[in-house]
């Protein structure tokens, strides 16, 4: 199994300790005045926040407030949207992720992603886990890698006797844990999760939440969720986004406040935060 690559391998030329880098001690991922445009209008504007290592950071807020847009910034998934343009600064261990010298494919090896709907490849359970490792050039130790990844995702005991059966035969909760195992198989530093339990039943949801808590010992996790109880249960810090509507009807997300989860849920600074978490709007 491979060890995690240091951040400087994102680029041959970007020096993470350069004088113009954001202080890496401020967080593993640091956004400063980050704005994302889709075409001519901003989907999120002037977001500044620092994500701490080995914590779960929850992004909450009403639909259309830019939570998923912000999440996709962290591993440059917005690059795949032709009309998207990112300004401001986003650093990972002090390296500017949007520097021209940084390869977005390498970014995604360090910063993995799990999507809202389980999306296993139409392959065997084994092949789902081994696929990313093979793409990354890992040719030996695949059996151990598959077992370790499935064990970390709390799935090994359930599937160890059917590794070469189709992943599509698994239940929804098992498929999502498989997708988490696939994401961590390439030894990322950060795991992004976009509503990872929204399509699951309450029992499977609880298992995903327990898994997230276990995984933060090794990984930094950023999760988008509409479930306030979930955010309160699993996250260490919570960022509340809200949406403003311009005169011409364009919706722009803004970060309202970002603090320890206990503070956000018991003593928020802003009335809009309190109104959202208590269900007065959303």
Residue 212 has pLDDT above 80, yes or no: yes
Q: Which CATH number is 31's domain given?
A: 3.40.50.300
Starting from the edge strand earliest in sequence, which strands make up the sheet with 111-114, in order? Answer: 95-96, 84-92, 29-38, 41-51, 251-260, 237-245, 56-60, 220-224, 190-194, 111-114
pLDDT, position 10: 62
Q: Examine residue 60 and state whether it is found in any structural domain, yes or no.
A: yes
| Residue 147 belongs to some domain of the structure | yes
Residue 208 tokens read as 């995903």
Each residue's pLDDT tens digit, 140-179: 899 999 999 999 999 999 999 999 999 999 999 999 999 9
Instruction: Find the domain containing 238 and state its range.
Output: 7-277
List of long-range contacts for 128-132, beta carbons under 8 Å, 24+ apart = 128/167, 128/178, 128/181, 128/182, 129/178, 129/181, 129/182, 129/185, 130/185, 131/182, 132/182, 132/185, 132/186
According to the model, what pLDDT value does residue 137 have? 79
| pLDDT surpasses 70 at 1 | no
Q: Is residue 2 part of a domain?
A: no
The pLDDT, as a whole number, for residue 89 is 96
Would you tell me the crossing angle of helices 142-152 and 125-135 to the nearest 10 degrees?
A: 110
Q: Is 270 among the domain residues? A: yes
Q: How many domains does the chain have?
A: 1
**Distance of alpha carbon 10 from alpha carbon 57, whole angstroms:** 23
pLDDT of res. 199: 86
E-assigned strand segments in 56-189: 56-60, 84-92, 95-96, 111-114
Q: By three-state DSSP, how is residue 150 classified? A: helix
In degrees rounded to 5, what are phi and psi of residue 239? -110, 125
Q: Is the pTM of this model over 0.95?
A: no
- The token duo for 55 is 């914590």
Q: What is the pLDDT of residue 17?
A: 40
- Domain assignment present for 132: yes
pLDDT band at 12 (very low <50, low <70, confident <90, very high): very low
- Assess if residue 67 is contained within a domain: yes
Q: Is residue 1 part of a domain?
A: no
pLDDT at residue 205 in the model = 94
CA distance 22 to 18: 9
- How far is Cα 112 from Cα 100, in angstroms, rounded to an integer? 21
pLDDT at 251 over 90: no
Q: For residue 250, what pLDDT band results from cuts at 50, 70 and 90?
A: confident
Region 4-32 average pLDDT: 57
Position 19 scores a pLDDT of: 32
| 6 has a pLDDT exceeding 50 | no
Distance (Å, whole) CA 150 – CA 162? 12
d(CA 27, CA 52): 5
The confidence band for 11, taking pLDDT boundaries of 50, 70 and 90, is low
Q: Are 7 and 92 in contact (CB under 8 A)?
A: yes
Has residue 134 got a pLDDT over 50?
Answer: yes
Lowest mean pLDDT, pick from 22-31, 56-65, 131-140, 213-222:
22-31
pLDDT digits 0-9 by tens, 65-84: 999 999 999 999 999 999 99
Contact at 8 Å (CB) between 94 and 7?
A: yes
Q: What is the mean pLDDT of the chain?
A: 90
282 located within any domain:
no
């Amino acid at each position: 199994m491979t060890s995690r690559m240091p951040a400087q391998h994102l680029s041959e030329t970007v020096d993470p300790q350069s004088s113009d880098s954001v202080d890496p001690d401020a967080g593993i991922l640091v956004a400063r005045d980050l704005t994302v445009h889709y075409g001519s209008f901003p989907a999120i504007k002037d977001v500044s926040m620092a994500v701490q290592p080995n914590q779960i950071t929850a992004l909450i807020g009403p639909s259309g407030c830019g939570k998923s847009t912000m999440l996709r910034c962290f591993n440059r998934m917005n690059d795949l949207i032709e009309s998207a343009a990112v300004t401001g600064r986003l650093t990972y261990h002090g390296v500017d992720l949007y520097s021209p010298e940084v390869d977005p494919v390498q970014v995604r090896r360090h910063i993995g992603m799990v999507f809202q709907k389980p999306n296993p490849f139409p392959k065997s359970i084994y092949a789902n886990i081994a696929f990313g490792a093979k793409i990354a050039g890992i040719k030996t130790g695949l059996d151990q890698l598959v077992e370790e990844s499935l064990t970390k995702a709390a799935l090994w005991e359930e599937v160890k006797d059917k590794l070469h059966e189709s992943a599509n035969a698994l239940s929804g909760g098992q498929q999502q844990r498989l997708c988490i195992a696939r994401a961590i198989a390439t030894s990322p530093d950060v795991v992004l999760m976009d509503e990872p339990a929204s399509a699951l039943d309450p029992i499977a949801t609880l298992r995903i939440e327990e898994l997230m808590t276990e995984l933060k010992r090794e990984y930094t996790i950023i999760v988008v969720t509409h479930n306030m109880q979930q955010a309160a249960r699993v996250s260490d810090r919570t960022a509340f986004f809200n949406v403003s509507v311009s005169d011409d009807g364009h919706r722009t997300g803004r970060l309202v406040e970002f603090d320890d989860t206990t503070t956000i849920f018991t003593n928020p600074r802003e009335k809009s935060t309190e109104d959202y978490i208590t269900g007065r709007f959303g």
